[in-house]
Amino acid sequence: MFDSVLIANRGEIACRVIRTARRLGMRTIAVHSEADANALFVAMADEAHLIGPAPASESYLVIDRILDVARRTGAACIHPGYGFLSERAEFAEACEAAGIVFVGPPASAIRAMGLKDAAKALAAQAGVPVVPGYHGNRQDPDFLRQKAYEIGYPVLIKAVAGGGGKGMRRVEKAAEFEAALESAQREAQNAFGDPRVLVEKYILSPRHIEIQVFADKHGNVVHLFERDCSLQRRHQKVIEEAPAPGMTEEMRDAMGKAAVEAARAVGYVGAGTVEFIADGREGLRPDRFYFMEMNTRLQVEHPVTESITGLDLVELQFRVAAGEPLTFRQDDMRIDGHAVEARLYAEDPESGFLPSTGKLWALRFPDQTNGLRIDTGVREGDEVTPFYDPMIAKVIAHGATREEALDRLSEALGATVVAGPRTNAAFLKALCEAAEFRNGAFDTGFIDRNLALLGAVPQPLDAEAARLGAFMLLHDEWRRLDSLQASLTFDEGRTSPWAARDGFQLGPPRRHGLLALVEGQRREMVVTWQGTEPEIAFEGGSSTLSAVQSSENGCEFARTDAGVIVIRNGRQTRVEPYDPFAVDLEHMDEGGLVKAPMHGKLVAVFVKPGDKVEKGQRLAIVEAMKMEHALLAPNDGEVTEVAAQAGAQVAEGARLIVIGAAGANGE
């Protein structure tokens, strides 16, 4: 076994690798960007080294800097985690040239499976069924459009390199093909440095099922059963589980053998995942699944496989890389119960799942007992930055049955507290409890068809949370005044009658107005007294101070430097004191202003001053957290200003485009 490891990654997976490496007695070496100087994985490692600025292209993707640290620290091996350099053949080759073991497959296998078109050809040669489509080298738009027509809509445009849903677009009709192709190619170029795509038939009612394979250097190749990753949004996995609902032994055997043959075809070593798409219109059938791609690395969702097999896949990676043979055969493997994993992201489901950044004012998880596991790379007080994937944690639940595992996951998500960046916690809980998903009646389009059911659409203001938050602020102000009053008391033991809050008043019932900023909007509430109990009325309801202080109010509170965040039913409501002198008079009338929704890179601008636009028209594209986000016109009108150029880095809230009434430029 190795005596030391350098983890060429960050966040949750770096923490995950460090835990296993420490258990095996290995010295752990972290590399980090400037943005990650205070990150959890840096604190966990035995030593940590700075390798560059925040952008991954200047730090985590710079092979020479990582290898330089490995040489200086005497690292025996390098674990690449997932993402970043984990599937870059040149990185595996550079490690070998430097005399450092790469904990992963040989460069030849990465290269063979790294490009989807070549991988499909290899799979077909190995007798593995592939999705019908065009997997060749020609990339001119007219040719690809013709191929899409021949294949028949709907089609899927997919980046030849990489994965994770980037550079992937579903196209329903020919009129949408050109824009989808441009977007997929641009995203592929930005994510993988390779704009090439393939076009293939979109399988109706698709189930995304993958097989975990493991191979050693002695010719042994096994599969560790399947994972169902069909709950997706924009081709990004949301909830994964093992085993797959509705899986038959006949189909498991067929898919497992196909995955093992694909791995053998490229001389695979280590952990890998062979991904299939299954036509689920008539249930899972062994004659209706197709090879999609092979991920030549550990997967984000590997914990569900660990839960049902009892294996530590990271430990297996280390042992195989060190030359040890697998100690088990295919016939030794058994499935123990059911496991489900949910990806807790810093994103806002009510605003189109836009990534969310900021300080984690609160981060609390339930205890990791009774089949529950939490994998995270952040702590309370950390900052979720715009530079990397917005994952906060993976919440994994294991049970004897699928129902038990889903119940445990739902309960755990309900007990998770996150305040600061918006999260998908409530959305994930709704998914766990959705009847169709529970009954196994789902495919990769389930989320998109059920956004309203899952709460992933704009929701009304949570008035009860706003009232309770206002009470917190009011209580803070009373305490401040009490402290001030005490400092002004001349006679010991005597306080001013004007400081009493017992509701006493000679005239009508005591009441006064209270102004607060609720979700950034000025709101007026009314404070009254019922006897000695103060009460706040707002939005047709009322709340009392005792309701705030009760442990049964269903809320969690997190104080920020500006006010308080109330977490209720997985949703956050920000309440802050209203400052009448903080009104931004300069920008009061900007109904046609288009701002940057987050910090990122403005990769494309489609309009110029003088252009007439319609509401909903694409104006620009911002890339952030490895995804593209289209900016749409908020109203009909004429572009009066374009304040930034393509290629510029923009801050959240930055003024980008202004749309005035038609003819605003004097036409």
Compute CA 544 distance to the chain's CA centroid, rounded to the nearest angstrom: 37
For every residue of 236-297, DSSP letters joined together read EEEEEEES-TT--HHHHHHHHHHHHHHHHHTT--EEEEEEEEEE-BTB--TTSEEEEEEE-S
What is the SS3 assignment for 97? helix
Give the pLDDT confidence score for residue 162 in this predicted structure.
67
Give the pLDDT confidence score for residue 666 in this predicted structure.
47
Residue 559 known to be catalytic: no
What is the SS3 assignment for 449? helix
- The CATH class, in words, for 463-484+499-582 is alpha beta
What is the SS3 assignment for 616? coil
Give the pLDDT confidence score for residue 549 in this predicted structure.
73
Q: H/E element holding 365?
A: none
CATH number (3.30.365.10, 3.30.470.20, 3.30.300.30, 3.40.50.620) of 337-456 reads 3.30.470.20
Q: Which two tokens stand for residue 531?
A: 């006897």
Superfamily of domain 132-201: ATP-grasp fold, A domain (3.30.1490.20)
Cα(150)–Cα(175) distance, rounded to whole angstroms?
15
CATH of domain 204-336: 3.30.470.20
Give the pLDDT confidence score for residue 26 in this predicted structure.
98
Give the pLDDT confidence score for residue 13 in this predicted structure.
98
Give yes or no on whether 204-336 and 337-456 have one common fold.
yes
Cα(516)–Cα(537) distance, rounded to whole angstroms?
13
Cα(282)–Cα(307) distance, rounded to whole angstroms?
29
The pairing of beta strand 77-79 with beta strand 101-102: parallel
> Phi and psi (nearest 5°) for 513?
-80, 150
Q: Show the CA angle centred on residue 547, arms to residues 546 and 549, nearest 5°.
A: 60
Is it true that domain 4-103 has CATH number 3.40.50.300? no
Give the pLDDT confidence score for residue 475 in this predicted structure.
82
**pLDDT < 50: residue spans in the chain:** 490, 498-499, 583-589, 666-667
Q: Which residues contact 309 (CB under 8 A, 6 or more apart)?
A: 224, 225, 333, 334, 335, 336
Cα(607)–Cα(642) distance, rounded to whole angstroms?
8
CB atoms under 10 Å from CB of 241, counted, come to: 28
Domain extents for the chain? 4-103, 132-201, 204-336, 337-456, 463-484+499-582, 587-660
C-alpha pair distances (Å), 248 with each of 225, 260, 338: 12, 18, 15
Q: Which two tokens stand for residue 577?
A: 């004191």
Q: Which residue has the tokens 């019932």?
A: 509
Catalytic residue among 16, 297, 343, 568: 297
Give the pLDDT confidence score for residue 129 in this predicted structure.
83
Cα(519)–Cα(84) distance, rounded to whole angstroms?
36
Q: Which residue has the tokens 């219109």?
A: 281
CATH of domain 587-660: 2.40.50.100
Give the pLDDT confidence score for residue 587 in this predicted structure.
46
What is the SS3 assignment for 311? coil
Question: Quick one: the chain helix, strand, coil %, rounded to 5?
Answer: 30, 30, 40
